[in-house]
Amino acid sequence: MDRRKYIKNTFWGLTGIGLFGACYAWQIEPFWLEFVKLRMPIKNLPKHLVGKTLMQISDIHIGNLFDYHFIIDSFKKAKEFNPDFVVYTGDYVSLSNDEVQHDKLEETLNAVVKGKLATIGILGNHDYGRNWSQAEVADKVSEMLTLNGINVLRNGSAESHGLNFIGFDDFWGTNFNAKKALENFDISKANLVLCHNPDVCDLDVWGEYNSWILSGHTHGGQVKPPFLSPPMLPVKNKKYSSGQFELSNGRTLFINRALGHLWQVRLNVRPEITIFELQNAV
């Protein structure tokens, strides 16, 4: 093969690889759902909850930025696992032309996954509308969730079958109040915090809290070059990308990679639904 032919073949080969990579990141991985299964050891967990399942779904981002029917189809698949608890950790909508697509959200919520024992949710920053400052948008989203069987915690707690859920309102929204959320914390109970933005884990608000924290928000960066950290993460603490982190005072943080997307592109960060098997921590 002469030099000119070699260069030509190399050019077209690299072009083909680039086009395939772009197509994969745009049309394949954003819709390649992964069910991640993990164990969740919780202190003081009642014996009757050992072996029960808790499903985390986060950041569905219903709007006009991608085909929301993917979320509905994902819910159908998730229901096959018949979870005992389901938690939603925020960002149900994305604004389109400064408006929430309430009709699309309602259609999606009609197919929502519910737990046999409880279904709990919190809000995320996008649920507060433009500049995370529209409390009326958050109130409307919260109302729609409630009407569709999701118990929305806004700086509050709810106990179900011996598992105490503590829900923070969004850190960037207009209603964040960690002190209020934790005011009824009882260290002798089995506890679980839902907190959309993992940066809250670094605030001096936790007191004696010593259990799990489930977050979303980051989408794992959505694009992660091989062997490198995600170049874009919407958090101050850049180690909070996705997955499990052991924190101070016995806290364990888990960051879900998100089911939906802000933009229809993913690379090495597949959309995720997490299924935890509850265990009693030693």
Q: What is the CATH number of the domain that holds 152?
A: 3.60.21.10
* Count: domains in the chain: 2
Q: Tell me, yes or no, whether 15 and 112 share the same domain.
A: no
- pLDDT for 181-228, tens place per residue? 999 999 999 999 999 999 999 999 999 999 999 999 999 999 999 888
Q: Tell me, yes or no, whether 151 and 270 share the same domain.
A: yes
Q: What is the pLDDT of residue 115?
A: 98
Contact 253, 213 (CB under 8 A): yes
Contact 109, 145 (CB under 8 A): yes
Q: Tell me, yes or no, whether 51 and 38 share the same domain.
A: yes
- Residue partners of 27: CB distance under 8 A and separation at least 6: none
| Residue 139: how many other CB atoms lie within 10 Å | 15
Residue corresponding to tokens 């109130």: 139
Is the pLDDT reported for residue 238 higher than 60? yes
- pLDDT for 7-20, tens place per residue? 333 333 333 333 44
Is the pLDDT reported for residue 124 higher than 70? yes
- pLDDT for 148-171, tens place per residue? 999 999 999 999 999 999 999 999
**Average pLDDT across the chain, whole number:** 92
Q: Tell me, yes or no, whether 211 and 241 share the same domain.
A: yes
User: In which domain, by residue range, is 135 found?
Assistant: 34-280
pTM, rounded to two decimals: 0.92
Q: What is the pLDDT of residue 261?
A: 93
Q: Tell me, yes or no, whether 11 and 64 share the same domain.
A: no
Q: Tell me, yes or no, whether 16 and 125 share the same domain.
A: no
Q: Tell me, yes or no, whether 54 and 154 share the same domain.
A: yes
Q: Tell me, yes or no, whether 68 and 43 share the same domain.
A: yes
Of the pLDDT bands very low, low, confident and very high (cuts 50, 70, 90), residue 26 is: confident
Q: What is the pLDDT of residue 21?
A: 56
Contact 201, 253 (CB under 8 A): yes
The answer to which of 20-24, 41-45, 118-122, 175-179 has the lowest mean pLDDT is: 20-24
Please state, in angstroms and rounded to a whole number, the distance separating the CA atoms of residues 271 and 77. 13
Please state, in angstroms and rounded to a whole number, the distance separating the CA atoms of residues 168 and 123. 8
Q: Tell me, yes or no, whether 7 and 51 share the same domain.
A: no
β strands within the chain, DSSP E: 34-42, 53-57, 85-89, 118-122, 151-152, 156-160, 163-167, 190-194, 212-215, 243-246, 252-255, 272-280
- Residue partners of 138: CB distance under 8 A and separation at least 6: 123, 127, 128, 129, 170, 173, 174, 175
Q: Tell me, yes or no, whether 138 and 22 share the same domain.
A: no
Residue corresponding to tokens 């072009």: 15
Q: What is the pLDDT of residue 281?
A: 94
Q: Tell me, yes or no, whether 7 and 120 share the same domain.
A: no
Question: Would you say how long the chain is, in residues?
Answer: 282
Q: Tell me, yes or no, whether 205 and 243 share the same domain.
A: yes
